[in-house]
Amino acid sequence: MLPELEEELLVLEENLEKAINHLSVEYAAVRAGRANPKVLDNIFVDYYGTPTPLRQMANITVPEARMLVINLFDKSATKETVKAIAASDIGINPTDDGKVIRLVFPQLTEERRKELVKQAKKMSEDSKVALRNERRDILDKAKKMKKDMNFSEDELASFEKEVQKSLDKYIESADELYKAKEKEILEI
């Protein structure tokens, strides 16, 4: 294979890896019945007029399987933190005892579990679309390169096979991530 095409294949692999990592991060933030500090990653607290990520303002621990304890570094921000958590879409009401904030994760209902599985499936499908878009982009670029550099149809066909092989591998990874998340969500 031509060095230019090998370079493009490496770029493709890197982009596909980024898409799978993004899916993994999205899945980490989906609440599956167990306490997971990642559900708080998208919560910002109005801290002295500046939206500040909660994880930068506190120590977050998991003392029990279905409870998070948030120990703020600055106790004066407790009221704003409770308000930010309550306003978020995680669906858990925080309890404040003056020292720490507790989040108790309720047992998920069957209906909510099915909803979360659908959400996870959509994330997986979106990830696969992104992977396929990367394939389309790289193949379009290779076809333009073929015209400019005059390499053969066989070299292009060989490159297309390598691209498809890489894509298949990453789509399989997306499917495995989905199956694992589905199992985690449906586990009681």
Reported as a single tens digit per residue, the pLDDT across 85-117 is: 888 877 788 998 888 999 888 887 888 888 889
Distances (CA, A) of 13 to 117, 148, 169: 28, 24, 10
* Residue 188 scores a pLDDT above 80: no
Determine the distance from the C-alpha atom of residue 163 to the mean position of all C-alpha atoms in its chain, rounded to a whole number.
24
As a whole number, mean pLDDT of residues 163-169 equals: 94
Percent of the chain whose pLDDT exceeds 70: 97
23, two tokens: 């899916």
Contacts 24+ apart (CB under 8 A), 74-79: 74/47, 75/99, 77/45, 77/47
- The chain-wide mean pLDDT, for the chain, equals 88
Task: Convert the pLDDT of each residue in 4-45 to its tens digit.
Answer: 888 888 999 999 999 999 999 888 777 666 778 888 888 899
Task: Convert the pLDDT of each residue in 60-76 to its tens digit.
Answer: 999 988 889 999 999 88
User: What is the three-class DSSP state of 60?
Assistant: strand
Domains and CATH numbers, the chain: 3-29+109-186 (1.10.132.20), 37-104 (3.30.1360.40)
